[in-house]
């Protein structure tokens, strides 16, 4: 099946710094990338949806200037957490979907810890 490679798997950063998370679709073209966040013992919450070459659409309550999403190519999407704070510590997961896919292919997730 299709694979979405997410990197890094774990990252620790200092408060006030920025962190970039990458998701690459390895054997299909991800026309749409979804970004989720998951706090401990909670379910996945959709943060934003991006289509290749377009600006991302953010869910209510998600700050677009804080969570910068780039989807400039069909195989790469990035999420940058800017000016990170401890409350941004979470598990971030991407999901790539191609034009013809009915399944959804998730990345492995990134555990972000802000200290």
Partner 1 sequence: DAKTTQPPSMDCAEGRAANLPCNHSTISGNEYVYWYRQIHSQGPQYIIHGLKNNETNEMASLIITEDRKSSTLILPHATLRDTAVYYCIVKLGSRLTFGEGTQLTVNP
Give me the least distance between CB of 42 and partner 1, in Å please.
8
Residue 12 touches partner 1, criterion: CB under 8 A: no
Residue 49 touches partner 1, criterion: CB under 8 A: yes
- Other C-beta atoms within 10 Å of 38: how many? 15
Residue 10 burial (C-beta neighbours within 10 Å; 0-12, 13-18, 19+): exposed
Q: Cβ closer to partner 1: 87 or 103?
A: 103
Residue in 43, 65, 86, 115 binding partner 1, rule: CB under 8 A:
43
Residue 108 touches partner 1, criterion: CB under 8 A: yes
Cα–Cα distance measured from residue 86 to residue 24, given in angstroms and rounded to the nearest whole number: 27
Cα–Cα distance measured from residue 112 to residue 115, given in angstroms and rounded to the nearest whole number: 10
- Other C-beta atoms within 10 Å of 90: how many? 20
> Rule CB under 8 A: which residues touch partner 1?
1, 4, 6, 32, 34, 36, 43-46, 49, 91, 93, 95, 97, 102-109, 111
């Amino acid at each position: 099946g299709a694979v979405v490679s997410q990197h890094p798997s774990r990252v620790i950063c200092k408060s006030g710094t920025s962190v970039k998370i990458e998701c690459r679709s390895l054997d299909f073209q991800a026309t749409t990338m979804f970004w989720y966040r998951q706090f401990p013992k909670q379910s996945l919450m959709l943060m934003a949806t991006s289509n290749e070459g377009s600006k991302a659409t953010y869910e209510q309550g998600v700050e677009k200037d804080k969570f910068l999403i780039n989807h400039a190519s069909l195989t790469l999407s990035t999420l940058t957490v800017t000016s990170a704070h401890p409350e941004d510590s979470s598990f971030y997961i991407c999901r790539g979907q191609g034009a013809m896919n009915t399944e959804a292919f998730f990345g492995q997730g990134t555990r972000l810890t802000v200290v």
